[in-house]
Amino acid sequence: MTIVSNQTTKEALGEKSGFQIWWRMLRPHTLTASFIPVFVGTVIASIETSVHIGLFIAMLIASILIQAATNMFNEYYDYVKGLDTEDSVGIGGTIVRDGISPQTVRNLAFTFYGVAILLGFYICLLTTFWIAVIGLISMLFGYLYTGGPYPIAYSPFGELFAGFFMGTVIIGISYYIQTEILTNEAVLLSIPIAILIGAILLSNNIRDFEGDQANGRKTLAILVGRNNAIRVLAAFFILAYATTVLFIMIGIMPVWGLLVLLSVKKAINAIKVFKNNNTPLEMMPAMKFTAQTNTIFGLLFGISFLLNHLYAIQSLT
């Protein structure tokens, strides 16, 4: 993590006490990586069958809980390993700035996992217990992201694992529990969302470049260098839009999918902020723009299928 000088980090970030301490611990700007895949997978499935609302809600809450728990484990293990201080930017600051016990953060993360398991059990009862296997594997990798002897977050593979598990796997599960099948089209359609989830992590690592390098991390950003990492981020954005256009051209996505282009400005803003700023605090808006790109893109991605479905129904009447 990196350091803010000349003023306290708490003041610079405008952090407040009370409920906001616990809200920040969840790192809400990252939660788009959990609810967008569930939304997209469910919407795609809704074209094939009627949506089971109970399954959708259970999957949505479980996904958010696992993502939030992963963020808490990140906070806990970075503190334990001495990587976070009260001047660290890009963390909830629950332990180092707000004085919450590290054990409380860790135990709350395990509690979230426990609730997610109960919700998973409900999903399994209505579908198949193979979902439990996939869910437990996903939770294990969420823990190993910063836990264990070889944390994924300290390697060049963080973006790959985040995109696959939070994107493709969640979309696949969300689609399967509604339809009881998993098609090649559903897997392919998960790719743009997976790419943008990887982009959220990459933007985080660009912001934390100096601190991560000083602490011996070997993230993708450090592997390719800061300037090249910004170019890779731009390539992630371009690839997400390009694959969407390709899917429209080959007929697995409706032409309404072009609506995702309305999110391009957020992606451009993220790249501009990274190029024009060097300190972690100055680069914070780029993180926000990257998360917003995923949110707006994902919502419009899913809505395009709904619009196409409604248009088809209207054409028949």
Least confident of 1-5, 101-105, 155-159: 1-5
- The pLDDT tens digits of the residues spanning 208-249 come to 898 888 888 899 999 999 999 999 999 999 999 999 999 999
Within-domain flag for 10: no
The model's pLDDT over 25-62, given as tens digits with 9 standing for 90+, comes to 888 878 888 999 999 999 999 998 999 999 999 999 99
120-156 tens-digit pLDDT: 999 999 999 999 999 999 999 988 888 878 889 889 9
- What secondary structure does DSSP assign to 119-161, as a single string? HHHHHHHHS-THHHHHHHHHHHHHHHTTSSSS-GGGSTTHHHH
Distance from C-alpha of 115 to C-alpha of 27, rounded to nearest angstrom:
19
pLDDT value at 71 more than 80:
yes
- Residue 76 belongs to what H/E stretch? helix 53-80
Place of tokens 């953060």: 105
Report how many domains make up the chain: 1
> And the tokens for 272?
């501009």
pLDDT of residue 8: 57
Of the chain, the percentage scoring pLDDT greater than 90 comes to 64
Residue-level pLDDT at 272 = 97
How far apart CA 159 and CA 167 sit, in angstroms, is 11
Question: Cα dihedral sign for 8, 11, 14, 17?
Answer: positive
> Which two structure tokens, joined as six digits, stand for 198?
């990887």
User: Which amino acid, one-letter code, is at 22?
Assistant: W
Residue 244 CB contacts under 8 Å (≥ 6 apart), including other chains = 192, 253, 257, 260, 301
**Which residue segment(s) compose the domain that 182 sits in?**
18-316
Answer yes or no: is 5 within a domain.
no
Q: How many CB atoms lie within 10 A of CB 305?
A: 20
CB 41 within 8 A of CB 171: yes
pLDDT tens by residue, 173-210: 999 999 999 999 999 999 999 999 999 999 999 998 98
Is residue 209 a contact partner of residue 227, using CB atoms and an 8 Å limit?
A: no
For residue 176, give both structure tokens: 């399967």
The tokens for 212 are 């991560």
Q: Which residues contact 183 (CB under 8 A, 6 or more apart)?
A: 175
User: Is residue 12 a part of any domain in this protein?
Assistant: no
Does residue 112 form part of some domain?
Answer: yes
Q: Do 187 and 172 meet the contact criterion of CB atoms below 8 Å apart? A: yes
Evaluate whether residue 2 is within a structural domain: no
Mean pLDDT of 297-306: 96
Provide the CATH number for the domain around residue 231.
1.10.600
Is the predicted pLDDT of residue 266 greater than 80, yes or no?
Answer: yes
Phi and psi for 112 in degrees, rounded to 5?
A: -60, -40
Model confidence at 14: pLDDT above 60: no
